[in-house]
Amino acid sequence: MKKTFTKFALAGLMASTMIGGAAAEETIKVGVLHSLSGTMAISETTLKDAMLMLIEEQNKKGGLLGKKLEAVVVDPASDWPLFAEKARELIEVNEVDAVFGAWTSVSRKSVLPVFEELNSLLFYPVQYEGEESQRNVFYTGAAPNQQAIPAVDYLMNEEGVERWVLAGTDYVYPRTTNKILEAYLKSKGVAEEDIMINYTPFGHSDWQTIVSDIKAFGSAGKKTAVVSTINGDANVPFYKELGNAGIKAEDIPVVAFSVGEEELAGLDTAPLVGHLAAWNYFQSADTDINAEFIEAWHAFIGDEERVTNDPMEAHFIGFNMWVKAVEKAGTTDADAVIDAIVGVSVPNLTGGYSAMMPNHHITKPVLIGEIQEDGQFETVWETSGLVVGDAWSDYLDGSKDLISDWRAPMSCGNFNTATGKCGGSGS
């Protein structure tokens, strides 16, 4: 029932988009740039629905600046260059005031020049590799120091891990994250031969060799753990192979940065119990605001079984920040919002407040969760306070001197503290 209503609403939306200015009431348009077909549809469709829900709820509260919000949904079809085209279409043709979207780093990189050129706003909700800060982009997902580093700290201190397997899919996010982690581990005194780095292609399904390598690597008399930046889909066969090969979480735990509730939903979780994931939000977070959010989500999507996940929370935070900044600035003009949004603080779903920092990253708590039999995570550890997202990693040679501050007078995404100069323009 609810679903047909949503479809109806969508159809209505599309119709009104086509009529354009003819609509009686003036609206504020919000672009949703998530793949609804192709490889990434598996993850991104949910975020599109989450955005529609947030916009619907805001309209119930009376909209924004006295106007109704209107979602404009486009489908970039998991095709990276198409992301740029669709972003341009959203900004130039549909005249949206802010865009929420993108998932993979390559799609974000593809739309960056468009947002810079047309001076619009992008809210990017997914954990990413850092090493970037752009004036028109707000990074509401985790930077490496908000996910990878605390996870490694947890394994080192609580589980006593001394030997590390860094396994990832072969693209920019795992490669950069692993570079940062390798530098970090070495700075902590881990020897070269105690780190094994391994990359696999997208959608890798034959994990036998790698799992047996991990087993061999783990039998050197030291506690071993796997830090996995393996991308969503390939995780299922990976964990299946681990389970079948009899590698238990008690012996060799795997901590994953790309496995959330959504990914576990397609998986028989019994062999995974005890393996870990690091995020800034788990559906199991025991707070009132989270319970409300889940209830609203289930009502909106019309399915009690659907889960919530970390990027959804990032959109929740990002959207509310944008709303607050627009109210503060009294306009949706991009420059005014960019100035107004720094310092804006909104509740997150884990019971605290997240604030937008001058480097366009946000503050978040870091949670380590263990996979449970029901596909949920149980928080076993969390940072005592909020962690500020760091755009430029302190552990990489090229970036440790860089800082980012988009407030006047610095207004620079990569200020070099060693030379005292803004190294380039923008990103």
Partner 1 sequence: MSFLKTFLVFLCVAVGLAGPAFAQSDPEALRPLINELAKGKYAETEKQIGALVATGNPAVAPALEALGEGKLFFRKSDGTVFITEKAGKSYLLTDPLTLEAAGEAGKREVKKVKVNNKLRRVIRSALGSLTLMAPDPAVRKSAAEAVFKAQDPASIEALDVALQAETDDGVRTVMEQARAAAVLNSDLDEAEKIKAVDTLSDMGNRDALSLLINLENTSEGVVKEAASLAVAKIEKSIAAWNAAQNIWYGLSLGSVLLLAAIGLAITFGVMGVINMAHGEMVMIGAYTTFVVQELIRTTAPGLFDYSLLIALPLAFLMSGLVGVAIERGVIRWLYGRPLETLLATWGISLILQQAVRSIFGPTNREVGNPDWMSGAFELGQMTITYNRMWIIVFALLVFAGLMLVLKKTPFGLYTRAVTQNRRMAASMGIRTPWIDALTFGLGSGIAGIAGVALSQIDNVSPNLGQGYIIDSFMVVVFGGVGNLWGTLVGAMTLGIVNKFLEPYAGAVLGKIFVLVFIILFIQKRPRGLFALKGRAVEA
Instruction: List the one residue from 65, 156, 267, 289 that touches partner 1 (CB under 8 A).
Output: 267
Query: Could you tell me the smallest distance in angstroms from the CB atom of residue 46 to partner 1?
Result: 8
Q: Do β-strands 224-229 and 254-256 pair in parallel, antiparallel, or remain unpaired?
A: parallel
Footprint (CB under 8 A) of partner 1, residues 132-161 = 158-159
C-alpha 388/C-alpha 371 separation (Å) is 26
Query: Could you tell me the smallest distance in angstroms from the CB atom of residue 180 to partner 1?
Result: 20
Nearest to 258 by CA among 233, 294, 226: 233
Helix and strand element counts for the chain (H, E): 12, 19
Instruction: List the one residue from 12, 266, 398, 424 that touches partner 1 (CB under 8 A).
Output: 266
- With binding defined as CB under 8 A, does residue 210 bind partner 1? yes
Nearest to 261 by CA among 198, 349, 140, 149: 349
Instruction: List the one residue from 63, 113, 274, 347 that touches partner 1 (CB under 8 A).
Output: 274
Instruction: List the one residue from 92, 95, 117, 268 that touches partner 1 (CB under 8 A).
Output: 268
C-alpha 172/C-alpha 129 separation (Å) is 8
Closer to partner 1 by CB, 126 or 341: give it. Answer: 126
CA distances 367 to 180, 225, 284, 319, 408, Å, are: 20, 18, 11, 22, 34
- With binding defined as CB under 8 A, does residue 295 bind partner 1? no
Footprint (CB under 8 A) of partner 1, residues 364-403 = 370, 372-373, 378, 380
Residue identified by tokens 């909700």 is 125
Query: Could you tell me the smallest distance in angstroms from the CB atom of residue 240 to partner 1?
Result: 7
CA distances 65 to 24, 26, 179, 315, Å, are: 17, 11, 45, 20
Instruction: List the one residue from 200, 283, 363, 399 that touches partner 1 (CB under 8 A).
Output: 200
Cα four-point dihedral sign 178, 183, 189, 191: positive
Footprint (CB under 8 A) of partner 1, residues 60-119 = none
From 6-14, 93-101, 172-180, 250-258, give the range in contact with partner 1 by CB under 8 A. Answer: 250-258
By the 8 A CB rule, do 369 and 381 touch? Answer: no
Q: Where are the beta strands (DSSP E) in 34-124?
A: 68-74, 98-101, 122-124
Instruction: List the one residue from 220, 291, 299, 410 that touches partner 1 (CB under 8 A).
Output: 220
Q: Give, for 352, the enclosing helix (H) or strand (E).
A: none
Peptide bond into 81 cis (omega under 30): no
Chain centre to alpha carbon of residue 211: 27
- With binding defined as CB under 8 A, does residue 245 bind partner 1? yes
Query: Could you tell me the smallest distance in angstroms from the CB atom of residue 116 to partner 1?
Result: 31
Instruction: List the one residue from 233, 310, 313, 390 that touches partner 1 (CB under 8 A).
Output: 233
Instruction: List the one residue from 218, 365, 389, 413 that touches partner 1 (CB under 8 A).
Output: 218
Query: How many residues at the interface with partner 1, by CB under 8 A?
Result: 57
Instruction: List the one residue from 92, 117, 170, 335 that touches partner 1 (CB under 8 A).
Output: 170
Instruction: List the one residue from 273, 296, 388, 422 that touches partner 1 (CB under 8 A).
Output: 273
* Joined tokens for residue 35: 């793949």
C-alpha 344/C-alpha 320 separation (Å) is 10
Q: Do β-strands 367-371 and 377-382 pair in parallel, antiparallel, or remain unpaired?
A: antiparallel
Closer to partner 1 by CB, 21 or 246: give it. Answer: 246
Residue type, 370: E
- With binding defined as CB under 8 A, does residue 265 bind partner 1? yes
**DSSP letters for 393-425:** -TTSTTTTTEEEE-STTT-EEEEETTTTEE-SS
- With binding defined as CB under 8 A, does residue 236 bind partner 1? yes
Closer to partner 1 by CB, 27 or 379: give it. Answer: 379
- With binding defined as CB under 8 A, does residue 213 bind partner 1? yes
Query: Could you tell me the smallest distance in angstroms from the CB atom of residue 243 to partner 1?
Result: 7
Instruction: List interacting residues with partner 1 (CB under 8 A).
Output: 36-37, 39, 41-42, 45-46, 158-159, 170, 198-201, 203-206, 208-210, 212-213, 215-216, 218-222, 233, 236-237, 240-241, 243-246, 249-251, 253, 262-263, 265-268, 271, 273-274, 370, 372-373, 378, 380
